[in-house]
Amino acid sequence: MKTEILYEDDTILVIKKPAGLATQTSKIGEQDVVSELKKYLAESGKKNPYIGVVHRLDQPVEGLLVFAKSKEAAAGLTKQLSAGNLNKRYYALVCGKPAANEGELVDYLVKEGNIAKVVPESAPDAKKAVLQYKVVKTMPEGVALLDIRIDTGRFHQIRAQMSHAGMPLLGDTKYGSEASIAFSREVGVRQVALYAYELEFKHPITKKAMHYELQPESFRH
């Protein structure tokens, strides 16, 4: 199993998703985190295991996710997500440096097929997307390491917003600029340089504060 389980009890699972594995897919024969977890639970003796998807990571992105093992837990976690109380933080390597060391991006996004586009607020089906960023460090090559927190959970939000702001992520061939894609190839970055390193929420049943944090060496140094 490619998925790494970090915590498990009767109602939730906290996992580390590897880059390249989809959270959930409808493609026949393609493995994903959900199918791996269902197989794991079935092999552990759980009949008809339930896995509730609360939030997702893009297929190229590595990091932390929480899943529900019951409908009650799924409802509780989804409520926290909707209220902005399921906190997620990311490291991102971007081409370019923000004008300020920290700031906020507010855009409106629509999903068109398998891509998110920034549109005017008045556009049909436009959804507000808000993220906060802080510069952790800058590098001589014109690359910056950002610490990002999202206030909304839109499709491809970080990748689309950072690209629109003129700071595309390294390794992102879908939203990158010609320069960022060329530089990514030059330095050998083949996956989207985004890592979901921190996750905070309240346990949906016990209400205990839950906090998980990973420190990916490739992003810190």
Q: How confident is the model at residue 202 (pLDDT cuts 50, 70, 90)?
A: very high
Q: For residue range 44-81, what is the model confidence (pLDDT) as tens digits? A: 888 889 999 999 998 989 999 999 999 999 999 999 98
Q: What is the pLDDT of residue 190?
A: 86
> Highest mean pLDDT range out of 18-22, 95-99, 165-169, 217-221?
165-169
Structure tokens at 179: 């320069």
Q: What is the pLDDT of residue 163?
A: 96
With 80 as the cut, is the pLDDT of residue 124 above it?
A: yes
Per the annotation, the verdict on 107 as an active-site residue is no
Alpha-carbon distance 139 to 196, whole Å?
Answer: 21
Extents of the domains making up the chain: 4-83, 89-190
Alpha-carbon distance 211 to 197, whole Å?
Answer: 11
Compute and round to an integer the Cα radius of gyration of the chain: 18
pTM above 0.95, yes or no: no
**Phi/psi class of residue 174: alpha, beta or left (left: φ > 0; alpha: ψ in -120 to 50)?**
alpha
Tell me the percentage of the chain whose pLDDT exceeds 70.
97
Q: What is the pLDDT of residue 117?
A: 95
With 90 as the cut, is the pLDDT of residue 109 above it?
A: yes
Fold of 4-83: Pseudouridine synthase (3.30.2350)
Give, in words, the CATH class of 89-190: alpha beta
Catalytic residue from among 9, 10, 58, 151? 58
Q: What is the pLDDT of residue 184?
A: 92
